Amino acid sequence: MDYKIVMPSGIVFDFSNMVGAGRLQAQEVEQALQQQGAAAEKAVCELRRTGFSKNHLSKDGTPEHVYFPRMPYIADGNPNTEQSIIKLMRYSKHLRSKDVVIFLGVGGSYLGNKVLFDAFGGYHWNTSATLRQGQPCIYFSGNNLDPVDCNSLLFKMRRMAGVSAQAGKKLKIMLVPISKSGTTLETISAFTYFYANLSQNADIDLDCTVVTDLKAPVENAPLLQLAEKFGWERFDIKEGIGGRFCIMTDPGLVTMAALGGDIEEFLRGARDMDIYCQQAELAENPALLNALLKFMAYERGRDIEVFMPYSMRLKSLSEWYVQLLAESLGKRRNREGATVYYGRTPIVAVGTTDMHAQTQQHQDGRLNKVVQFLEVANPEVEAVLHNPFADVPFFDKYEGMDMAKALKAALNANEAALTGDNRYNARFTLPKLNEYYLGQLMYFLMLTIAYEGELADVDAFDQPGVEVYKKLMKAQL
């Protein structure tokens, strides 16, 4: 077995450091692949074909389809159709007439959207008209019941409205609440807070777009009621797409539309990844191997996964992955009802930042971790250092240093240090960061979760533990 898979797109999955002394043994990996891996592959093929996942029920206890594998394929009857993509593209053009878009959502209605913003917008998006190229400023709220955070953004909007008023214009704001039920506490709290305050400001032209379940009975869907009453634009949250998997459907693609990003390339990347994984032999299927290796490592006590991109733009990808992994695989019982307490605790880390914070624990702490590295091979930006202080010889050693090469050297050193102590680690490499490659990677991670759910025999598509605190919290409110 080759311990490095180079996909046709150029993405590399190098898992050679998962195998070796003190780690997994090649023979046992190959044996597990032919037995457990083959069974998991068969189950995921059935999931693709029928939307059926063994013993999966909705939070109401009724049978529920799982359709996330259909997201990449634009076709009638799928979550994305030609009509829905055209609608999103028109919406993207419409948003160019707005000054600000505020997305309001929590969990899967926020984390994936923030990945898209950080990857294709970034820290300076809202301060650079050149970077935005006509698209609106983008802000997020409703991801926490934090009054200070909401008030801070409200103050920002009032200040921007004041500047617009001085120029003889109104500030055009679009509020976008995202909630399948239309009753999510964080989302609705933020939405009503901002709507009540902004709609009363004479210097603001306020509009709304609703992203919710458009097939729900209107009497049970407050956001849908408002959309029908006021004639607001609305987008759908489709059946069979759980929140943590929804990034490639309307709840996530509205953010790509606001950014002016290439939606079709994002989906094409996911589609190519799915096709590759379907056609590959078991030993060359990267999603299946990723799932199997981490499942086997878990059985050997590695119950923490550190997801560590060497890119600040991808820190939010780690945060998205935390929800994907924790909610999908952190389960008290398996699908037969037996108590298993399965799952790894996901940890967000960023290289090189957290080499100065977490790496001491990774290197010398308990042998209970898998470190998953992620690199972007071509950052498409060159930053070469020069010594501006000629009279201070200390800085001469930095003359001509390429920061991208230094970043890669740090990753290589971290990887080598862990491997030298027989600590589990693996590496994903993206050729560059664009819509296509991000689509490939995010879909790959979702597919990996589906495979590991099969390997561990847990329902990767429910979240019963979340419902416990929700009931207790509702009783207090």
pLDDT at residue 3 in the model: 93
Range of the domain at 170: 68-261
The pLDDT of residue 477 is above 90: no
pLDDT at residue 474 in the model: 85
- 95-99, 216-220, 371-375, range with the lowest pLDDT: 216-220
User: What number is the average pLDDT over the span 321-337?
Assistant: 98
Structural domain contains residue 472:
no
Residues 54, 99: one domain? no
User: What number is the average pLDDT over the span 367-382?
Assistant: 96
User: What number is the average pLDDT over the span 425-445?
Assistant: 99
Residues 241, 359: one domain? no
Structural domain contains residue 175:
yes
Q: pLDDT, tens digit, for every residue of 104-125? A: 999 999 999 999 999 999 999 9
pLDDT at residue 101 in the model: 99
Q: pLDDT, tens digit, for every residue of 438-475? A: 999 999 999 999 999 999 999 999 999 998 998 898 88
pLDDT at residue 471 in the model: 87
Q: Classify strands 12-14 and 425-430 as parallel, antiparallel or unpaired.
A: antiparallel
pLDDT at residue 45 in the model: 98
What do you get for the CA distance between the two ends of the chain, in Å?
56
Closest residue by Cα to residue 192 from 215, 222, 214, 164? 222
Residues in the chain: 477
Q: How many domains does the chain have?
A: 2
pTM confidence score: 0.96
The pLDDT of residue 1 is above 80: no
The pLDDT of residue 280 is above 80: yes
What is the percentage of the chain residues whose pLDDT exceeds 90?
Answer: 95
CATH of the domain at 279: 3.40.50.10490
pLDDT at residue 2 in the model: 79
CA pair distance 198, 218, nearest whole angstrom: 26
pLDDT at residue 435 in the model: 99
Structural domain contains residue 473:
no
* Ranges of H-type helices in 199-302: 222-230, 250-259, 263-279, 286-299
